[in-house]
Amino acid sequence: MESIVKLTKIIIDNLFSYNGKQEIPFSPITCIIGSNGFGKTSILNAIKLGLGHYDVNLDSILNNKAKKPKCSIVLEFDLFTIQRSWSFDDSIEESIEVSFPDEDEKALQATEAEHFIENRIPTFLIDFLFYDGEVGSNLFLLSRTKLKSLFDYIFDLDLLMHVKKDSLSVAKRLLEQNSSKETEELVKLEKDRFGLIDSIEKNKEFLKQFQKEYKALLLNIQKLDTQIRNRNKKIKELHKQKDEKQEALSALAQNFKELNMFALPLLLNRKLQNTLKKRSYSPLVLQDEKLFVSHFRRFLEQIKSKIDEEEAFSLFKNLMLTESTTIELSMTQKDFKSMIEEMKNLQYEIKQMDLAIQDTETNAMEQEITRSLIEDKEDKNKQLVELHHKIEDIENTIENNEDTLKETNKRLTVIFKENQNTYASLKGYEELQEVAKVAEKVYTEELFDKLEVFNKTLAKNTTSFLKQYKHINEIYIDDKHRIVITDGEKILNTELLSAGQKQVLNFLIVKSILEYKEFASFVMVDTPFGRLSNANKKLLLEECYLQFDNLILLLTDSEFEFVQSQKLKYSTYHITRNALGSQIEAAS
């Protein structure tokens, strides 16, 4: 296919929100700035309508304030021009013309013009060249069947798939037309085979849908769990604070119990402490140290002291069995009083928290909200179980059908071998079956080779993206037409990607598609940056958008500020609105 050339200009006349003729010539970089609702997306839709790709009620395309009941869109490419017009006099009349710079080349009208456009700008390509950054052509949302159709077209393998499908269909009709008593079993088996194939394909689509619903339901349940936890957050926080204060109180109580068990009388009785300081002899004398140690050990056990036995005995002897006038206490009387006050305060605070927890837990409204959330979660869990059973049933059905299909194919082969003369008139059936097999074989070989080339292009385009994320190692399209993301060892769930990551990655794949087919040298993007981080905006701009010869960006004011910060050369147009509708003005 010839490469699509550059889009150089568009002229919108009374189409959608635009009143009168609005002309935009495009530079290598063109920025069209407008607030939401002013008509940025209308430009995109007008172009798609001009290419015959936008499905819309024609009654709604004419601007409400148009002076004449006519509207049109002109798309100027460097090698041809497309003009599509509508007249609304008595009935809606549509006309299409494709003209060429060379005056000697005849302009194309009607059906010829439509065929020309379809050949030069394939339908599937339009949503990629004229791209809606927020909602357009999200490859991650396409089913595997649609992705297969897309990549079959990109890799020029769609013809092989049509050959296979048509061969099998003709083979089936050939059997039916030559049906007789002798061929009844064969016809029945062949019908069964087609029925099984159809059932397997449909069930696989159902399975994908149910699996998608299952994931969504699971996510919903997780959100409900979070809501329930958040409802109990206040109670949890109170319990946490209470536990912290209880822990602090326990530590003080242990200190009181252990470190002060011998010094307590002195801390409580200053007179006794002063008297001991004046002593010239030990206040206690041990007559039988062995017996005392035995009683002392029992005492430690009774108070459940955690101090080492030797350490405790040493503390006692240093305090009570010494003639030294120096008394070393673990704390002063002032510190002791402060500790007692702190313990009292902690006990009071813990009591108040117990009351606050009780009040919160018995709050009727809070209980009702939490109960409603729990009931919703239980209902969702029931749905999840039912969905899980459905998925299991479909998986079992697919497996059983695939086993039955294998047996049916074997039986068909045996019947043909055993009754070749009887089925001589159906020889064409075998030949068509062989054509289908050859088409499948060639398809598989071609797909492998073309995927290898495409994935190299994709790897090149995603290199900068991958450098930002340590957990993503590789992105490729596999032989089942799935977008696969891996961490180097295992396949990652694409649902775990953020919306920004998906947006960047989606366009990197789109860029790889356009490069692979050498389709285009321009791209128009509506809302090109959305809510991306500045790093991803820069990546998307440098690695994707700026790689095209012509870049047309439909921007909000905030998105334009980012473009301005990149020090690029560009032409600028502003979308304004008045009582008549939208207008496009070149920046002065």
Would you kindly state where each structural domain of the chain is located, as residue ranges?
1-122+519-588
Query: CB-based contacts of 337: which residues, under 8 Å, 6+ apart?
Result: none
Q: Rounded distance, CA 103 to CA 80, Å?
A: 11
Predicted TM-score (pTM) above 0.75: no
Q: Work out whether strand 21-25 and strand 7-13 pair parallel, antiparallel, or are unpaired.
A: antiparallel
Backbone angles phi, psi at 521, to 5 degrees: -125, 15
Compute CA distances 194 → 171, 201, 404, 426, 438, whole Å: 11, 11, 12, 18, 19
Say what the pLDDT of residue 480 is.
Answer: 86
Alpha carbon 31 to chain centroid, angstroms: 29
Question: Which parts of the chain have pLDDT scores under 50?
Answer: 1-2, 136
Say what the pLDDT of residue 1 is.
Answer: 42
- pLDDT tens digits, one per residue of 277-325: 665 555 566 667 777 778 777 877 776 666 677 777 776 666 666 655 5
Structure tokens that stand for 106 in this block: 């005849």
∠ Cα 303 308 313 (to 5°): 80
Structure tokens that stand for 417 in this block: 């071998």
Burial class (CB in 10 A: 0-12, 13-18, 19+), 316: middle
According to the CATH classification, is domain 1-122+519-588 in 3.40.640.10?
no
Say what the pLDDT of residue 354 is.
Answer: 82
Q: How many residues in the chain?
A: 588
Work out the number of other CB atoms within 10 angstroms of the CB of residue 256: 15
> Which helix (H) or strand (E) is 22 found in, with range?
strand 21-25
Structure tokens that stand for 60 in this block: 């709604």
**Would you give the DSSP letter of residue 234?**
H
Backbone angles phi, psi at 249, to 5 degrees: -65, -40
Work out the number of other CB atoms within 10 angstroms of the CB of residue 442: 14
Q: Work out whether strand 483-486 and strand 474-477 pair parallel, antiparallel, or are unpaired.
A: antiparallel
Structure tokens that stand for 270 in this block: 């200053």
What type of residue sits at position 19? N
Q: Rounded distance, CA 254 to CA 370, Å?
A: 40
> Which conformational region is residue 527 in: left (phi greater than 0), alpha (psi within -120 to 50 degrees), or beta?
left
Query: CB-based contacts of 306: which residues, under 8 Å, 6+ apart?
Result: 254, 258
Query: CB-based contacts of 439: which residues, under 8 Å, 6+ apart?
Result: 160, 161, 163, 164, 167
One DSSP character per residue, 472-496 reads: --EEEE-TTS-EEEESSSSBPPGGG
